[in-house]
Chain A
Amino acid sequence: MRVARKALLYLLLCLVGLSTVFPFLWMVSTSFKTMNEVFSIRPNFIPRNLFTDKMWDNYQTILVKHNFLRYVQNSLFVATTAAFGQLVACSLSGFAFARMKFAGKEILFGMLLATLMIPVEVTIIPEYLIMLKLGWYNTFLPLIVPSMLVGSFGTFLFRSFFENIPTTLEDAAFIDGVNSWQMFYKIFLPNAKPAIASLFIIAFMNNWNDLLRPVIYLDSEHLWTATMGLMQFKGNYGTQWHLLLTGSVISVIPLIAVYIAMQRYFVEGMLGSGMKG
């Protein structure tokens, strides 16, 4: 009876899992097909060119001829810089909110809390005008600077993390005569590795996947990010599904690689974000 129930549960888990992975498998499968194969009367799941020397043709076309290699590099640069910047800004302010006393602290924190849920669509118009005034249009800066500085979620994450570090550690360090910066950098930050990993990954993911800002700020083709390049390709070659899906695979692979490597931080971090919402 127990064994039967277990088997049934695994079966259910696999069925649900199949509905989750099918689009991904279909994406990968299509990316190895030829145009004729995609539109053939009898569809096949295993591409005919798989494990032949023509196997990587679509990838060659997309990465080189359609410049996706460039787009992926741009995305890597933008996402890494923004995530790193967000880490710096959020760990500093998270530390201040958790451990320091200053006038207006509650009001400031309240404002962060109150604006946490305001969608970017609300603030994007004035932001766009600011970027035009600064001369940052058609550069990476509008993609990096706002997301770097407006890290309400990251601030919450670090605040709750630093709040849980015992005061005795702080007291001991003060007796040893450390200053504020050393306290943060030498004592607290080394203890915050899970928070650092979670925030870095989540910020990286958000910036990698961002579409609105690349669409409105990036004009020159050589600056496009992976999501932007994919959208443009869809607009221009909407029916070349084999190439379009190849582009999709390329644009999700770096993220999935990071996800598999650091899965527990993803889930932990998302849990943290949820609970602080």
Chain B
Amino acid sequence: MRYGRVAPWLFVLPTIVGLALFRIGPIVAAFLVSFTRWNVISSPQWQGLANYRELMSSEIFWRVLKNTVVFSVTYVPGVMVCGLFLAILVNTKLKGITFFRGLYYLPVITSTVAIGVVWSWILSPRFGALPRILNNLGVMNVPSFLGDSRYALLTLVVVYIWKMSGYHMILFLAGLQNIPEVYYEAAKIDGATPWQLLRHVTLPLLSTTTFFIMIIALIQSLQTFDLTFAMTEGGPNNASATLSFFTYVNAFVHFRMGYAASMAFVLFLIVGSITLANFWARKYWVSTLD
């Protein structure tokens, strides 16, 4: 106890206050609010499971939940494949490679709003860069990527993959650089092709990294408020609304705090089970690798 009894608590005090006031407290409070009817102006009324019942019978909610699932199952593999591709591409000692790494990382640091604006412009019907390029290539009747309910959600997924690939590149790169060179040398002596190297050396040795990246990508796919807000505002007709955006709409546009809190709790359950799966898997891996 070289630091005494009081000092440690003073050092962690700001973090404890933050944890209690802005993390643990709000999680518990959100759960309680989800059983009430509350528009902020009048005081909350307890109404039991009514919000959850409304949620279950709401067609829009199921649609939003389906959108969220579609977003996750397309975004996660998409961004992982792109990230791995970039990581393999920049995992060399070529001159100027740090420049390219930095370049590929640029969209990650840029605000989602600015990216939303520029992509809205590129995809904009008739005058946007992409429809113009497609027209010149002879493709007429280019759909409105953001205005058509069939394409809006997937367009958001593609833009988000474009933005986040650099982030996953860095994570994969760290994993790749941990693989000892000898494995590759041994496989090459046995006459392995580049594809075989990837399939039988890189990917198996990268499996823990890959799992961990999948968890990160999954969590990211649930936090799409900025992107949705900046590009489609959930439209057209809720076609691109996801859980995080829909929670915002109910809480801060309709001011239905109780109902929104029940959605936030569904989001919490999803993230909570992913976190638990992560903890469990790590324990399992640690014990098998030892």
Name the distance in Å between A269's Cβ and chain B's nearest Cβ: 10
B185 close to A (CB within 8 Å): no
Residues of A within 8 A of B16 (CB): 108
Partner of A93, one of B14, B166, B219: B14
Q: When chains A and B are docked, how far (Å) is the Cα of A129 from the Cα of B255?
A: 12
Q: When chains A and B are docked, how far (Å) is the Cα of A208 from the Cα of B109?
A: 10
Known A21-B103, A180-B7, A252-B110; judge A123-B257 contact (CB<8 A). Answer: no
Q: Residues of A within 8 Å of B, CB-based: how many?
A: 93
A251 touches B111 (CB 8 A): yes
B46 close to A (CB within 8 Å): no
B23 touches A277 (CB 8 A): no
Per-residue CB contact flags for chain B residues 243-279 toward chain A (1 = under 8 Å, else 0) read 1100110011000010011001101100110110000
Q: When chains A and B are docked, how far (Å) is the Cα of A59 from the Cα of B113?
A: 19
B260 touches A115 (CB 8 A): no
| B251: nearest chain-A partner, CB-CB | A125
Per-residue CB contact flags for chain B residues 124-165 toward chain A (1 = under 8 Å, else 0) read 100101001000000000000000000000000000001000
B2 close to A (CB within 8 Å): yes
A263 close to B (CB within 8 Å): yes
Per-residue CB contact flags for chain A residues 218-236 toward chain B (1 = under 8 Å, else 0) read 0000000011001100100
Partner of A122, one of B109, B127, B271: B271
B18 touches A150 (CB 8 A): yes
B80 close to A (CB within 8 Å): no
Partner of B121, one of A99, A102, A119, A245: A245
B215 close to A (CB within 8 Å): yes
The segment from B48-56, B167-175, B199-207 found at the interface with A is: B167-175
Report, as a range, how many residues of chain B touch the other chain: 35 or more
Q: Of A19, A105, A205, A212, which is in contact with the most chain B CB atoms at under 10 Å from its CB?
A: A212
The segment from A4-12, A46-54, A189-197 found at the interface with B is: A4-12
Residues of B within 8 A of A247 (CB): 117
Per-residue CB contact flags for chain A residues 17-33 toward chain B (1 = under 8 Å, else 0) read 10111011011001000
Name the distance in Å between A60's Cβ and chain B's nearest Cβ: 20
Residues of B within 8 A of A117 (CB): 219, 271, 274-275
Residues of A within 8 A of B243 (CB): 121
Partner of B117, one of A102, A234, A255: A234
A256 close to B (CB within 8 Å): yes
| A277: nearest chain-B partner, CB-CB | B216
B132 touches A43 (CB 8 A): yes
Known A13-B100, A16-B89, A130-B21; judge A215-B14 contact (CB<8 A). Answer: no
| A216: nearest chain-B partner, CB-CB | B252
Per-residue CB contact flags for chain A residues 107-128 toward chain B (1 = under 8 Å, else 0) read 0100110110111111111111
A209 touches B112 (CB 8 A): yes
A62 close to B (CB within 8 Å): no
* 3 A-B pairs closest in CB distance: A149-B18, A126-B29, A123-B26
B interface list, Cβ under 8 A from A? 1-5, 7-9, 11-12, 14-19, 21-27, 29-30, 33, 40, 86, 89-90, 92, 94, 97-98, 100-115, 117-119, 121-122, 124, 127, 129, 132, 162, 166-167, 170-171, 174, 212, 215-216, 219, 222-223, 225-226, 229-230, 243-244, 247-248, 251-252, 257, 260-261, 264-265, 267-268, 271-272, 274-275
With A123-B23, A226-B111, A248-B117 given, can you name 11 additional A-B contacts, CB distance below 8 Å? Answer: A9-B89, A13-B90, A24-B110, A24-B118, A112-B15, A118-B272, A124-B26, A146-B22, A149-B17, A149-B22, A151-B15
26 contacts between A and B (CB under 8 A): A9-B89, A12-B89, A21-B103, A26-B118, A26-B121, A38-B127, A43-B127, A90-B15, A92-B11, A96-B11, A105-B8, A117-B219, A121-B244, A121-B248, A122-B267, A122-B268, A123-B23, A126-B26, A148-B14, A149-B19, A151-B18, A211-B113, A231-B113, A241-B124, A255-B111, A267-B101
